[in-house]
């Protein structure tokens, strides 16, 4: 573990929660859940990065109120552990209501209600869709008011009974998948948090918030926090006013330019879209990242750009730089396949490093022993894991998907999820946008398309589409980070486990309701063309297994294993395999420039000011991130009330991506 992360991982003198479960913390989290769910669903710009705005700001508000309660009624105030339970539940709610709901809710109705506008729906989807997961064209008359829009919230809620079975079915599937991930995290928590001592950079701000809310820290008395906070907050408010009144000048800290414009001629213009931007809150998160991992991310980002130029020079002029996962058409230099090989290697290496621990856990599962007083017993977690996997398989069979396809998709999705979760615990990358990376790509490369049935493929692609998207708000890393925060505060992990399960169910239900309210008012989104296109590709492009694609999966696997081999033997080796896995896809393209600035600043501070300087830098980073999140909360509330095209600190604008 990088020593710079010690402020959060050090053993603090925090009294454990006496009750094994904190009902008031869970009740408060559930009472405020609609606010986080609505915000996360209405303003996706605030949830498309690792540290999401809605749960952080909601925890900040609760922590601030808790400080006032502590002054007047000290015995009634929430303690640090209870604030962690609140944040853990809300970060799960935000994760599910964000991108997972984007690739689930609009698809429920699109195939059936927009079949006339999209011939592919009736050709590839509707004849094979399950009526509990997707609206059939024959049911379209029931939803004519929904398609028209213009209805208020009261009308939407009064007609929510039309959606009950769809919400139930999808909530059941999402809960089973999240339960499987939660059980894996529960079984591996001690290995990743206490033995390997992963850095967990993402939790630095949430931990500072809950400790401040519990009366243990006073950042407003530290000038290295206050001054950057004031400066950054004023910049964001000035930029927001500029978007409302363009005559007022602004200080651009988002997209500044495009590096591609410096190279107009081939083959160098094959680097593709390479935006130059700072994004202060994302750059500031880089201050918490271990220095070698920060450098590795930057190095492999430019290595990927070099591959694009090299592929173009070799004659791959139309495919260089593309990510094949969306259209499932592998293309040089096979970034999706390299990414898959890298993540499978990270998964395999995580099992290898933890092999002795896994052996100990297996003995506890067999014998029924384990530290039940501090968390979910290993046997219970394993039984719940088996139950959730069996439930996913049962749903797949009920829908009509061959069992081997369900197993294939779920195994590789969970393997990817484990690798992503552990990687985020190591790197703490501000974002991990894995563009259209999913098991479907491996299915095409490894099995081919010749022997796949139309019915099975149609049902697989539509039912498990959320396995194959972008993964920016993947719930599993948020689960583990909440557990790490719980470890730091010595809270009972069973309380957190139950809270996360509740949050998963509530988050799914509220997410659907939130989206449907929006669509009843403004009209529904027309989605589904991407999945219909994937089904068409799989059924009409008859091809055997892709040997070249599989070769690049092996290449990605070998690169990660090779870097691991070198690092174990040369401790000072600067390149980390996790940086390669993240950079081979679309995870760094928005904010690479900010990471370079942070890396140079960190090198300077560590070289000339040591640990004392690093501690001050830690406060500066917290001040910048806090200011950006507070400003974003103000502009997001303004946006939700007025729907004006206001400013956003996010990597995406509220109207256009670079607005």
Alpha carbon distance 459, 465 (integer Å): 10
Q: To 10 degrees, the CA torsion angle through 346, 351, 355, 358?
A: 140
Phi, psi of 276 (to 5 degrees): -100, 115
Q: To 10 degrees, the CA torsion angle through 258, 264, 266, 270?
A: 10
How far from 187 is each of 161, 201, 293, 361, 365, CA to CA, in Å?
A: 38, 22, 26, 7, 10
pTM attached to this predicted model? 0.92
How far from 18 is each of 10, 486, 630, CA to CA, in Å?
A: 21, 14, 33
Per-residue burial over 379-411, b = 16 or more CB atoms within 10 Å of its CB, e = otherwise: bbbbebbeebbebbbebbeebbbbeebbebbbe
pLDDT of 20:
59
Tokens of 430: 């501000």
How far from 234 is each of 225, 238, 261, 286, 591, CA to CA, in Å?
A: 14, 6, 31, 22, 21
Compute the half-sphere exposure of residue 374: CA atoms within 13 Å on the CB side of its CA: 13
Helices (DSSP H) in 136-255: which residue ranges? 144-148, 153-158, 164-190, 204-213, 223-244
Concatenate the DSSP letters of all residues of 242-261 into one string.
HHHSTTS-----SEEEEGGG
pLDDT of 19:
52
pLDDT of 546:
85
- Mean pLDDT for back-to-back runs of 10 residues, the chain (659 residues): 42 46 88 95 90 96 95 90 95 94 94 91 93 94 93 94 97 98 96 91 94 87 94 96 92 90 89 89 91 92 91 77 58 86 96 94 86 77 97 96 95 96 91 85 85 88 92 94 91 91 96 94 91 87 84 95 91 89 86 93 89 89 96 95 89 69
Rg (CA), the chain: 24
pLDDT of 11:
40
DSSP 650: S
Sign of CA dihedral 462, 464, 465, 468: negative
pLDDT of 128:
93
């Amino acid at each position: 573990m990088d020593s710079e992360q010690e402020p959060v991982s050090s053993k603090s003198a925090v009294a454990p929660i006496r009750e094994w479960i904190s009902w008031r913390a869970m009740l408060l989290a559930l009472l405020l859940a609609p606010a986080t769910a609505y915000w996360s669903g209405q303003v996706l710009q605030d949830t498309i990065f690792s540290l999401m705005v809605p749960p952080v700001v909601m925890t900040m508000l609760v922590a601030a109120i808790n400080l006032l309660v502590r002054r007047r009624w000290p015995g009634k105030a929430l303690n640090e552990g209870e604030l962690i339970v609140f944040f853990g539940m809300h970060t799960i709610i935000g994760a599910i209501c964000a991108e997972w709901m984007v690739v689930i809710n609009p698809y429920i109705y699109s195939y059936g209600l927009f079949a006339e506008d999209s011939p592919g729906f009736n050709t590839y989807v509707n004849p094979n869709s399950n009526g509990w997961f997707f609206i059939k064209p024959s049911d379209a008359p029931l939803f004519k008011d929904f398609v028209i829009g213009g209805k208020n919230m009261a009308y939407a809620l009064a007609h929510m009974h039309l959606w009950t079975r769809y919400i139930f079915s999808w909530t059941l599937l999402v809960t089973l998948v999240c339960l499987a991930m939660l059980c894996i995290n529960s079984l591996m928590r001690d290995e990743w948090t206490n033995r390997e001592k992963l850095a967990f950079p993402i939790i630095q701000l949430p931990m500072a918030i809950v400790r401040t809310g519990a009366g243990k820290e006073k950042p407003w008395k530290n000038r290295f926090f206050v001054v950057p906070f004031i400066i950054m907050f004023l910049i964001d408010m000035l930029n927001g006013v500029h978007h409302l009144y363009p005559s007022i000048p602004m200080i651009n800290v988002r997209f500044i330019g495009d590096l591609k414009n410096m190279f107009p001629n081939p083959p160098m213009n094959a680097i593709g879209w390479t935006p130059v931007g700072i994004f202060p809150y994302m750059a500031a998160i880089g201050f918490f990242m271990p220095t070698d991992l920060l450098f590795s991310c930057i190095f492999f980002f430019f290595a990927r750009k070099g591959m694009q130029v090299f592929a173009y020079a070799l004659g791959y002029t139309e495919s260089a730089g593309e990510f094949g996962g969306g259209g499932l058409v592998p293309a040089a230099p096979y970034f999706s396949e390299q990414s898959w090989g890298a993540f499978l290697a990270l998964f395999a290496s995580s099992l290898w490093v933890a092999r002795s621990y896994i052996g100990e856990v297996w003995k506890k599962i067999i014998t029924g022993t384990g530290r039940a007083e501090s968390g979910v017993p290993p046997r219970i977690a394993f039984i719940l894991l088996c139950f959730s996997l069996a439930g996913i398989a049962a749903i797949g069979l009920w829908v009509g998907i061959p069992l081997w396809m369900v197993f294939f998709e779920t195994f590789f999705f969970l393997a990817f999820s484990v690798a992503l979760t552990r990687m985020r615990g190591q790197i703490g990358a501000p974002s991990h946008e894995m563009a259209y990376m999913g098991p479907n790509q491996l299915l095409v490369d490894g099995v081919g398309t010749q022997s796949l049935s139309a019915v099975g493929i149609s049902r697989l692609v539509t039912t498990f589409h959320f396995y194959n998207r972008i993964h920016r708000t993947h719930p599993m890393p948020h689960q583990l980070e909440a557990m790490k925060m719980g470890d730091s505060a010595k809270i009972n992990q069973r309380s957190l486990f139950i809270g996360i399960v509740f949050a998963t169910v509530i988050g799914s239900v509220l997410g659907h309701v939130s989206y449907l309210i929006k669509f009843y008012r403004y009209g529904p989104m027309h989605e589904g063309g991407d999945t219909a296109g994937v089904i068409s590709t799989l059924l009409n492009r008859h091809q055997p297994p892709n040997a070249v694609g599989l070769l690049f999966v092996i290449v990605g696997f070998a690169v990660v294993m090779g870097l691991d081999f070198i690092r174990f033997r040369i401790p000072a080796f600067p390149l980390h395999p996790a940086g390669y896995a993240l950079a081979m896809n679309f995870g760094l393209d928005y904010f690479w420039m900010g990471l370079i600035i942070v890396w140079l600043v960190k090198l300077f501070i560590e070289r000339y000011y040591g640990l004392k300087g690093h501690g001050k830098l830690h406060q500066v980073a917290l001040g910048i991130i806090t200011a950006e999140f507070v400003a974003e909360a103000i502009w997001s509330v303004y946006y939700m009330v007025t729907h004006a095209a206001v400013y956003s600190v996010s990597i995406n604008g509220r109207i256009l991506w670079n607005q």
